[in-house]
């Protein structure tokens, strides 16, 4: 959906109510976009757009924000995810496992592994029982790299979320979890 907006110059204005009770929607980019759509199609049911648009924008901004510190450490997010999957599972994984863990294609994983292997962050071993299978494990260097980066990433995340109080964060987490459970059930991506 086209939740992406543009920066119309605007004077300061009070937050705009957009629902029942105490629920308030702030003056963000999505609000601008929604208003534009209402002008074009009066009566358009935009509530889904108001939610999904914001979800996408928040995700985009957060991902973008996190990419910078990772880049400083010489890793892309995808690479960090892959290394992280190895670290948190605590065992060797096959390329297929890694593809599933990181919601990537096999081809992408192959490419990444090539690079990470060349950098000495992961190592490959064959499987004694099945010659098709490759096992990938973290090297000590790879593990140290992940362990060195993770606390800083988490601290950074805490920092960017600090604009919401802990109650709001917990509420948001719970609601997102409810949504995610629904989406995973409905659209796949997880089989509990």
Partner DNA sequence: AACAGGTGTTTTACTCGTGAAACATTCGCC
Partner DNA sequence: GGCGAATGTTTCACGAGTAAAACACCTGTT
Residues of this chain that bind DNA (CB under 7 A):
76, 78, 94-97, 104-113, 115, 124, 129-134
* For DNA, the closer CB: 105 or 159: 105
Interaction of residue 100 with its own copies, rule CB under 8 A:
yes
Report the residue from 56, 94, 117, 139 that binds its own copies according to the rule CB under 8 A: 56
Query: Taking CB within 5 to 8 Å according to partner kind, which of DNA, its own copies, none is near residue 113?
Result: DNA
Considering only residues 149 to 188 of the shown chain, the ones binding its own copies according to CB under 8 A are: 150-151, 153-154, 157-158, 160-161, 163-164, 167-187
CA dist 31 and 28 (Å) reads 5
Contact (CB, 8 A) for 94 and 85: no
Considering only residues 57 to 76 of the shown chain, the ones binding its own copies according to CB under 8 A are: 57-66
CA dist 137 and 61 (Å) reads 32
Helix (H, G, I), strand (E, B) or coil at 58: helix
Query: Taking CB within 5 to 8 Å according to partner kind, which of DNA, its own copies, none is near residue 106?
Result: DNA
CA dist 83 and 142 (Å) reads 7
Q: 26: Cβ–Cβ under 8 A, 6 or more apart, which residues?
A: 15, 16
């Amino acid at each position: 959906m086209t939740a992406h907006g543009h920066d119309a110059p605007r004077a300061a204005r009070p937050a705009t109510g957009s629902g029942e009770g105490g629920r308030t929607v702030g003056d963000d980019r999505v609000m601008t976009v929604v208003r534009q759509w209402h002008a074009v199609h009066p009566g358009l049911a935009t509530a889904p757009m108001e939610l999904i648009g914001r979800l996408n924008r928040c995700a985009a901004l957060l991902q973008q924000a996190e990419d910078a510190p990772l880049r400083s450490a010489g890793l892309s997010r995808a690479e960090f995810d892959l290394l992280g999957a190895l670290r948190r599972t605590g065992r060797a994984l096959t390329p297929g496992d890694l593809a599933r863990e990181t919601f990537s294609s096999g081809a992408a994983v192959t490419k990444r592994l090539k690079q990470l292997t060349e950098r000495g962050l992961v190592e490959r071993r064959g499987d004694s029982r099945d010659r098709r299978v490759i096992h990938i494990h973290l090297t000590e260097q790879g593990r140290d790299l992940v362990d060195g980066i993770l606390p800083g990433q988490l601290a950074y995340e805490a920092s960017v979320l600090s604009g919401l109080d802990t109650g709001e964060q917990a509420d948001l987490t719970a609601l997102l979890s409810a949504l995610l459970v629904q989406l995973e059930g409905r659209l796949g991506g997880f089989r509990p």
